[in-house]
Amino acid sequence: IMNLRKGSKVWAEDRDSAWVAAEVADFVGKQVRVVTSAGKKVLALPEKLHPRDADDEEHNGVDDMTKLTYLNEPEVLYNLERRYELNDIYTYTGSILIAVNPFTRLPHLYNVHMMDQYKGAPFGQLSPHVFAVADASFRAMINEGKSQSILVSGESGAGKTETTKLIMQYLTYVGGRTASAGDDRKVEQQVLESNPLLEAFGNARTIRNDNSSRFGKFVEIQFDANGRISGAAIRTYLLERSRVVQITDPERNYHCFYQLCASGRDAEIYKLGHPSMFHYLNQSKTYELEGVSSADEYLKTRRAMDIVGISSEDQEAIFRTLAGILHLGNIEFSPGKEHDSSVIKDQKSGFHMQMAANLFMCDVDLLLATLSTRTIQTREGNIVKALDCNAAIASRDALAKTIYARLFDWLVDKINRSVGQDPNSRVQIGVLDIYGFECFERNSFEQFCINFANEKLQQHFNEHVFKMEQEEYSKEEINWSYIEFIDNQDVLDLIEKKPIGIIALLDEACMFPKSTHETLSTKLFHHFRSHLRLEKTKFSETDFRIAHYAGKVTYQTETFIEKNRDYVVVEHCNLLSSSKCPFVAGLFPSLPEESSRSSYKFSSVSSRFKQQLQALMETLNSTEPHYVRCVKPNSLNRPQKFEKLSILHQLRCGGVLEAVRISLAGYPTRRSYSEFVDRFGLLAPDLLDGSYDEKMITQNILQKLKLENFQLGRTKVFLRAGQIGSLDSRRAEVLDSAAKCIQHRFRTFIARRDFVSVRAAACDLQAYCRGCLARMLYEVKRKTMAAIIMQKYSRGWLIRSGYVKERAAAIAIQSSIRGFAVRQKFLYGKKHRAATLIQAQWRVRRFRLAFRHHQASIIAIQCLWRRKLARREFRRLKQEANEAGALRMAKNKLEKQLEDLTWRLHLEKRLRVSNDEAKLMEISKFQKTLESMNLELDAAKLATINECNKNAVLQTQLELSMKEKSALERELVSVAELKKENAQLKSALDTLESKNSALELALVKAQKESDAAIKKLRQVEEKWFQLQENVKSLETKLSNLEEENHILRQKALSVSPKSNRSGLVKAFSEKYSSALALPNSERKHVFDSPTPTKLLLPFSHGLSESRRTKLTAERHQENFELLSRCIREDLGFKDGKPVAACIVYNCLLHWHAFESERTAIFDYIIEGINEVLKVGDENITLPYWLSNASALLCLLQRNLRTTGFLIAAGQRSSGASALTARVAQTLKSPFKHIGFEDGLSHMEARYPAILFKQQLTACVEKIFGLIRDNIKKELSPLLGLCIQAPKIARGKSSRSPGNVPQQLPSSQWESIIEFLDSLMSRLRANHVPSFFIRKLITQVFSFINIQLFNSLLLRRECCTFSNGEYVKSGLADLEKWIVNAKEEYAGTSWHELNYIRQAVGFLVIHQKRKKSLEEIRQDLCPALTVRQIYRISTMYWDDKYGTQSVSNDVVAQMREILNRDSQNLTSNSFLLDDDLSIPFSTEDIDMAIPSIDPSDIEPPSFLSEYSCVQFLIQHQK
């Protein structure tokens, strides 16, 4: 019983809105006067009122109904309404999902990223979603090995079919079925693509829905042992066969008939016209659907048939059969000549009879006889009985229904065969899409069967809900044995119990030909007169009313018997089985002999439906059920329209309120201990001091308040119905008393403040009066003192004036005398300095002439000696060059190459001409730009010269002025004795000084202009140099690209018939083993240039051919063993340089591998690196090889070039190679000093070397991606713990002693910091370049931002004030880490956290309701989209201070923007996508990593075991 008091918040019943919010105003006897939210005063009984929690309204609803403070009907209804206004269409009621049809597109809820978020997430952790239900069923099937089922129910238009599609889409996503052989379509695609076909033949327009499914569908998705989809099957239930022959206005028949009539050419072939011409369609005047084209739908149905795999012949037969049914319905009969006989009514009926026979491809006379007569078999023989008109029409309709039903069954079977079933599947997930509870103004046999099915499902639903309640109570370890189970078995017994049940009585009535609906009703009322669930209506003798779980439904029995009868007429079957159309004959196989003896084979529709329903229930009972209740918010199919009465009726029909009633029978109110203490701890504040055991505090509070029958679970407290209202009433009393105390204190404060202000005003007035008197006295004294001071200063001025005049005269005389002396001294010093300068210049010239004479002599001697040495060396080289053998071989070889290349050059001319033209155009553009820059440079230089000339003129003028100044000074000395002349000279001197200062200012200005011009000139020169560098770099890149393309073209053209391709393919297929023993024709192409061993052993030319082959194979085997060991072993680093990369590069360079036309060594290296990455420890191997592979790539990028392919340097003869090698070795040290050795390091790369560089680039990108993915994999569980504050921290933060907030535990964030520290130490220990570390850390922080932000938007418990503070403190720790890591390694990582920083900042600000949308978008969250801000605003709730989210106006503005944008955007998801791209290129690596000298390393000790790398050891020595 609810405790009502004045001011209590309640829900009151309302005729229009079902329930309205109200407040108790007064008590009138046994009634209560309440004031509604509209201001209307209403009297109501206390038991008709329900308590209301005003706090829930501020939270924009809850995502689970069980979290409601008061679990009652109005709270459930208004919670759905609040969430629907925010486009939160999904809500839980325990494990049941309620889905409200939004009637608008919400693509952000159903993309792949959203499915990935719900994949593997615990049920209830994220926001409610249909994907969560599908994932829960899939995980339960995988973990428990038990089949699952998902029951989707709701009335027409509630979105059942769409929800079923989404469930199958998600199951296919997580099931991951691969396409079978010869079929690239998935099971889900095949099932969904068959929907248009099933909708065309099984859907029709009803009063409530234009596309209502008139059959039940159970889609069974089968899985194999690995959890992958292996097959699927579709089962259908209770097709509404009577709709084929009988419809009511404004409903329609099945869509396929109207589509066929609108098919155009096909309709003309079948002699069809407008639907109004056919009896089966014109019973209703509705022929078209709004916004739907029957012709377009016909084409979609045809496409669906093609997708399912129905051949064109079968398609033609299907539509021929449909046309035959329409013509069959237009056949009318009239009484015949004999008694109780019938004949064709008129010529029109005869035409339709002939058309029906032609379409069914059967005999027309036999068809007429089948419809108008019956054959009865007796012992004496067959008796033919004529049928009257009514019986003939009934026979016609029975034939039409039978044909259509068998056609529909054939389509379903065809779809199942197309999809494919797995007979070995042991587990499956079934998705049931079945009609909901129906209650119309007139309810017939179909509604009776549908509601019977819903009663069965409701019983199963009640058992499931009760079981869930039991599991919840068992999980929390509380006593639940006395809770009563609510059952509807009495209704099921009323309908299906034998031998006396409604179905049994209906079947009995159908067995007797003369039974009518009156006799059926009489039997029902006779047998169930005292049954509580069945009653007789007042205004009809034949109608009866059944009290279902969702309400009372009145059924009209006029058509019960006709619709329940399903006679299988033997003549019908024999007629169609003999059809010449194989399709029609296949629908009616031959009957057994015993069945053909009777003309009628009675079959009850209700009994067959009962059997199907029993089989369905057995299937569901063998599975673990999951429920989705679809709700239609309004009858107009409009978005943002919430019809409360209709939705309340659907909630009752869907069993949601029944689930609430079951919960109310136990413990409907459940609160975690932290939430209970936070809300009701103020009722006993003395119990909170010094205690942190929330369970004990909860128990003490309840005991102190003397509440009984509560239960304390492991994590929650369970309260009986009404107890939460009593607690809220006590809480309201405490808050009222606290408010009164606050008001008392506040009034005291106001009164004291007024008294203090009055007293202060009196003091101020007194002080002002005393100040006026003091100021008057002060003014008199000030004037007297001022007169004395004036006299003092006047006397002082007179005396000071006389003194100043005498002092000035003395100073003028002294300055003249001293100036004359100083000028004399200055002239003497100037002459002395000039003489010294002339002497110094003369001595310098004399010594320079002597030095130049000696230098010229030395240079002449050196030149003569070098010429002598050069002539000696030239004679020696000329003698060696005269060796005829080597030159002759080279000549022959070059002649052959010249012949081969001559015709190839002609082929390249045309390509080269076009490339040259494009290149010339580019070069001309750059030359024009360069010329313009040169002109600007010349102009700047001329300006600079002019400025210098001006400066010279000014300096000349200054010297002249100085000479004039000296002359005037001399004149001043000569007339110094005369005062008048002295005054004149002084005035002249002043004018000269002013001119001098003006000239100096002009000089300074000229110098500044000169500096500016020089600065501008330098900028122009810098731009010119930069443009030159850009032109050079572009030309270099262009030439490199052309040369690489040229190499590839030459490689493709150079394949001649003489080349042995089979040897190369064999080499790769045998894992490089054939490189050890190549045939003679290919041996010299492995490394075209000879190895150092050939140079050291010249006598090997005299060995036999087999001996040389063996030595070559051994040498290559040793090379491969060396490379394998360098790759497998950790060689470490030397001064930050990777040793392995340097050794590999030196070896390849020394073995001339880059110049080879054909070699397997590069593939061997790449394969070796990949093998090491597979078997090694990823934390050590990946950073190590990232350093080595990037270093090797940089060496290749900087030291290889692709120019000179046509020079054929790789095809030089052995003699020439030996000669070049000897010359290079002889002149090694001189070349090293003059820089020639660096020029030789740029090797000419061949085709294998270019491919090797590309493979190495891919290897670096692969290693970088593996490191990044491993980091994300390790970070994901840590981030899952960091997004939500620990419960201890959230529970105690508001109750810390002394109102001091306690410090939140940051162990989770510390674990992330420790992980980042270990990552940084691993990378730096392996000398990974800072460029890679910076890119890696940036992508890691981007991943942190995405994970935290997406989790925040998907979990409502994370959008709280206290959780925002917790995440903000963790982000501060990350900022400190970034600062400590420095920009060299962290880069712009802090900016990658923009989204989560702004979202958390929005959570923790106060006064959100005062913020406008513009302020939020511009100042608080500039990086966030409106949809993301809307999501955070609607999910936010303050668990610490109780503040509210943004204002309703801001929410309305955001909703308007979203509705407008959703029409234009293809994908408007509020979640962030992870970037999986590689954030660098080869050029970036080359520019970012410093240069490496591969020769300056210390070789490992094991290299001494290999003779092929002795050059490294000798070089080190």
Catalytic pick from 164, 212, 230, 1362? 212
- Residue 885: which pLDDT band, with cuts at 50, 70 and 90? low
Mean pLDDT of 983-997: 74
- Residue 592: which pLDDT band, with cuts at 50, 70 and 90? low
Q: For the chain, give the mean pLDDT.
A: 79
Buried b (16+ CB within 10 A) or exposed e, 660-683: bbbbbbbbbbbbbbbbbbbbbbeb
Cβ–Cβ < 8 Å for 269, 215 = no
Q: Tokens 């064709």, residue?
A: 344
- Ramachandran angles phi, psi of 482, nearest 5°: -95, 0
Examine the residue annotation and report whether 1081 is marked as an active-site residue of this protein.
Answer: no
Angle at 724 between CA 720 and CA 730, to 5 degrees: 135
Higher pLDDT, 263 or 1282: 263
Compute CA 1349 distance to the chain's CA centroid, rounded to the nearest angstrom: 11
- Residue 1098 burial (CB < 10 Å; 0-12/13-18/19+)? exposed
Catalytic pick from 149, 161, 194, 623? 161
pLDDT at position 169 is 85
SS (H, E, C) 1314-1365: HHHHHHHHHHHHCCCCHHHHHHHHHHHHHHHHHHHHHHHHHCHHHCEHHHHH
- Look at residue 1265 and give its three-state secondary structure: helix
Higher pLDDT, 1513 or 206: 206
Higher pLDDT, 837 or 1050: 837
Examine the residue annotation and report whether 722 is marked as an active-site residue of this protein.
Answer: no
> Regarding beta strands 41-44 and 90-93, do their DSSP bridges make them parallel or antiparallel, or are they unpaired?
unpaired
Q: DSSP E strands: which ranges in 244-371? A: 333-335, 342-344
> Regarding beta strands 711-712 and 716-719, do their DSSP bridges make them parallel or antiparallel, or are they unpaired?
antiparallel
Rounded distance, CA 1340 to CA 1392, Å? 9
Higher pLDDT, 1476 or 302: 302
Higher pLDDT, 78 or 1050: 78
Catalytic pick from 69, 147, 156, 1074? 156
- Residue 25 burial (CB < 10 Å; 0-12/13-18/19+)? middle
Count of CA atoms in the C-beta half-sphere (13 A) of 1348: 32
Which 8-state DSSP code applies to residue 1075?
A: G
Contacts of 626 (CB under 8 A, 6+ apart): 95, 97, 133, 136, 137, 148, 149, 150, 151
Per-residue pLDDT at 179 exceeds 70: no
- Give the helix ranges, DSSP H, for 1129-1227: 1139-1150, 1161-1175, 1178-1199, 1214-1226
- Residue 884: which pLDDT band, with cuts at 50, 70 and 90? low
Contacts of 1244 (CB under 8 A, 6+ apart): 1154, 1155, 1200, 1201, 1202, 1203, 1204, 1205, 1207, 1209, 1210
**Bridge partner residues of 153 (DSSP):** 629
Catalytic pick from 60, 147, 153, 213? 213
Cβ–Cβ < 8 Å for 1116, 1085 = no
Q: What is the pLDDT of residues 719-775, one digit of tens each?
A: 876 677 678 778 878 888 888 899 999 999 999 999 999 999 999 999 999 999 999
- Ramachandran angles phi, psi of 624, nearest 5°: -95, 115
Cβ–Cβ < 8 Å for 12, 19 = yes
Could you give the percent of the chain with pLDDT greater than 90?
Answer: 16
Which 8-state DSSP code applies to residue 482?
A: T
For residue 1277, what is the enclosing H or E element? helix 1247-1282
Compute CA 30 distance to the chain's CA centroid, rounded to the nearest angstrom: 59
Higher pLDDT, 1021 or 1316: 1316
pLDDT at position 721 is 65
Mean pLDDT of 517-543: 88
**Nearest Cα residue to 1158 out of 1243, 1208, 1088:** 1088
Examine the residue annotation and report whether 438 is marked as an active-site residue of this protein.
Answer: yes
Contacts of 1510 (CB under 8 A, 6+ apart): 1092
Rounded distance, CA 548 to CA 799, Å? 126
Per-residue pLDDT at 1101 exceeds 60: no
Residue positions counted in the chain = 1517
Q: What is the pLDDT of residues 17-39, one digit of tens each?
A: 889 989 988 888 888 999 988 88
pLDDT at position 985 is 67
Cβ–Cβ < 8 Å for 337, 372 = no
pLDDT at position 1090 is 35
Question: ω into residue 250 within 30 of 0, thus cis?
Answer: yes
Catalytic pick from 436, 1291, 1364, 1387? 436
**Nearest Cα residue to 394 out of 321, 320, 331:** 331
Count of CA atoms in the C-beta half-sphere (13 A) of 1505: 9
Rounded distance, CA 860 to CA 854, Å? 10
pTM as predicted: 0.61
Which 8-state DSSP code applies to residue 443?
A: B
| Both tokens assigned to 768 | 């002002």
**Nearest Cα residue to 426 out of 795, 784, 145, 814:** 145
Per-residue pLDDT at 1218 exceeds 60: no
- Ramachandran angles phi, psi of 1101, nearest 5°: -70, -20
Q: What is the pLDDT of residues 632-664, one digit of tens each?
A: 898 877 888 888 888 888 887 777 776 676 666
For residue 376, what is the enclosing H or E element? strand 373-377
Rounded distance, CA 1409 to CA 1444, Å? 7
Mean pLDDT of 1060-1088: 37
pLDDT at position 1100 is 39
Range of lowest pLDDT (74-78, 422-426, 973-977, 1294-1298) = 1294-1298
Q: What is the pLDDT of residues 1292-1333, one digit of tens each?
A: 444 433 343 444 445 678 888 888 998 888 888 888 888 888
Which 8-state DSSP code applies to residue 1499?
A: -
Rounded distance, CA 211 to CA 435, Å? 12
- Residue 404: which pLDDT band, with cuts at 50, 70 and 90? very high
Higher pLDDT, 78 or 926: 78
pLDDT at position 1212 is 35
Q: DSSP E strands: which ranges in 1376-1488? A: none
Per-residue pLDDT at 390 exceeds 50: yes
Higher pLDDT, 41 or 913: 41
pLDDT at position 1220 is 37
Rounded distance, CA 93 to CA 1488, Å? 58
- Look at residue 833 and give its three-state secondary structure: helix
Higher pLDDT, 197 or 1018: 197
Examine the residue annotation and report whether 156 is marked as an active-site residue of this protein.
Answer: yes
Cβ–Cβ < 8 Å for 1333, 1183 = no
> Regarding beta strands 669-672 and 1137-1138, do their DSSP bridges make them parallel or antiparallel, or are they unpaired?
unpaired
Examine the residue annotation and report whether 729 is marked as an active-site residue of this protein.
Answer: no
Per-residue pLDDT at 255 exceeds 90: yes
Mean pLDDT of 543-547: 92
- Ramachandran angles phi, psi of 220, nearest 5°: -110, 110
Rounded distance, CA 498 to CA 205, Å? 35
pLDDT at position 1307 is 65
Catalytic pick from 61, 94, 154, 157? 157
pLDDT at position 1222 is 36
> Regarding beta strands 229-237 and 216-223, do their DSSP bridges make them parallel or antiparallel, or are they unpaired?
antiparallel
Neighbours of 1080 (CB within 10 A): 9
Catalytic pick from 66, 209, 1270, 1447? 209
Q: What is the pLDDT of residues 805-848, one digit of tens each?
A: 999 999 999 999 999 989 988 988 888 989 899 999 988 988 98
Rounded distance, CA 491 to CA 531, Å? 10
- Residue 1457: which pLDDT band, with cuts at 50, 70 and 90? confident
Examine the residue annotation and report whether 157 is marked as an active-site residue of this protein.
Answer: yes
Rounded distance, CA 579 to CA 1313, Å? 81
| Both tokens assigned to 1079 | 């045939």
- Look at residue 1166 and give its three-state secondary structure: helix
Cβ–Cβ < 8 Å for 307, 318 = no
Q: DSSP E strands: which ranges in 969-1032? A: none
Rounded distance, CA 698 to CA 701, Å? 5
pLDDT at position 1501 is 73
3-state helix, strand, coil in the chain (%, to 5): 65, 10, 25
Examine the residue annotation and report whether 698 is marked as an active-site residue of this protein.
Answer: no
| Both tokens assigned to 1173 | 């990455």
Range of lowest pLDDT (88-92, 192-196, 293-297) = 192-196
Per-residue pLDDT at 855 exceeds 50: yes
| Both tokens assigned to 979 | 């005062």
pLDDT at position 1238 is 39
- Look at residue 680 and give its three-state secondary structure: helix
Contacts of 518 (CB under 8 A, 6+ apart): 541, 542
Residue type for position 412: V
| Both tokens assigned to 29 | 């006897």
Examine the residue annotation and report whether 1495 is marked as an active-site residue of this protein.
Answer: no
> Regarding beta strands 96-100 and 90-93, do their DSSP bridges make them parallel or antiparallel, or are they unpaired?
antiparallel
Residue type for position 1399: A
Catalytic pick from 438, 1043, 1155, 1365? 438
Contacts of 773 (CB under 8 A, 6+ apart): none
Rounded distance, CA 107 to CA 113, Å? 11
| Both tokens assigned to 352 | 């339709």
